Structure 1
Amino acid sequence: MSEIGAEHKKRLLAGAKKIDVELSDQQIDLLLAYLALFAKWNKTYNLSAVRDSLQMVTRHLVDSLTVVPFVETYAGDSVIDVGTGGGLPGVVLAIMFPEKRFTLLDSNGKKTRFLFQVKTQLKLDNVQVENCRVEAHQPEAPYSAIISRAFASLKDMTDGCHHLLAADGCFLAMKGIYPTDELSDLEKRYIVSDSHALSVPGDEGERHLLVLTDKLTGDRAAS
């Protein structure tokens, strides 16, 4: 598995245990296989500023796993990861939820070529890759959840993605420190229906997940 070995698996299992996320043997194998591809392609495709593959376990895999309970709670059967980059958190979540459909969208052609390789090599049949700007994406049906990990400000996220959201859907915004300033810039139609502080074992930085709903589409769905 390239440079990925027992130490990476040990760190992944320890991190998952601390955040109470259970991993099957198949999920462990797929996550480590994804990490091996990520570390290999990162050398030429610049997928991440993190160069050490052991650090990638914590800062990419475990970080993405922290939102698993909330994706289970809030997301329906179709999720789009906007500005997915190298597939974070979308690939990790697709491995964790094979019954849900995940669209990974990014405007960077190099990154989406990598994602096609991941989808093919790991046989992730529940993944669709889109190489375009989010404003240009016109899906056949809207998504039950729109997730992003440091993709843009909350205003840019809601402005650019509102056409992708189902009437009863939600935005799942992964942030660092609580984004008070960004919230003040949001249109009044968007409300924070939930907020969760996240803890990533081995990383002292702050993490938050904000759940945003669109009052206008919600009202239309209810009427």
Structure 2
Amino acid sequence: MRRLIGTVLAILGILVLSACAGLPVSGPVTAGRPVDEVRTGPEVRFFPDGPQPGATQEEIVEGFLLAGSGSSADWATARSFLAPAIQSSWDPSAGVAVVPTGEIVAQPAVDDTVKVILAPVASVDATGRYEPALGGTATLAFELIQVAGQWRISKAPDGIVLDESVFGTVFHRYSVMYFDTSWTYLVPDERWFPTTSAAVRITGALVDEQPSDWLAGAVS
């Protein structure tokens, strides 16, 4: 609770300072923007293709993994590669495997199962903590079934895979701020969140999660 109150106070302080800095004290009177007009800065988003009619099992799996770059509408495009029974239960926020460019290649299907072997360069866990990989490989297995004559994934691991060339566009680094133990200074805890849900994820980190292990004993 003290952490949450401190965060609210810090946010209010930033808003007050920003408001003071933005108030003109001289010059002509000009009309402002309509109150319902939303100002947005440039933002790059990926809109990957959904499943194509007649796609092979391998193409469905590769398409699903490549659709991890499309975070809009809670990864709706990626979910379209899944069988209806698991579309809502698959959890893309479980983590991210960041892989070298061009590594997402499916192995030939065996008994309606397709495997993909990856050599991640980094990972992001469910709380947004980024960790460089220590080497090695990971094997992902996908089971497929026919749905209305088209292949769909009936079993898939949670989380997404992102090419390292797009990771920095889909995810951005944010500082989750905690007070030090004296309640004097704010200490940043860096996390990586999808740009489309950053505000919700940052709020969740402050309310429901603990600081990173390396900050143990240093923050409240």
Which band: TM-score by shorter chain? under 0.3
Normalised by the length of structure 1, the TM-score is: 0.22
Normalised by the length of structure 2, the TM-score is: 0.23
Larger Rg: 2
More helix by share: 1
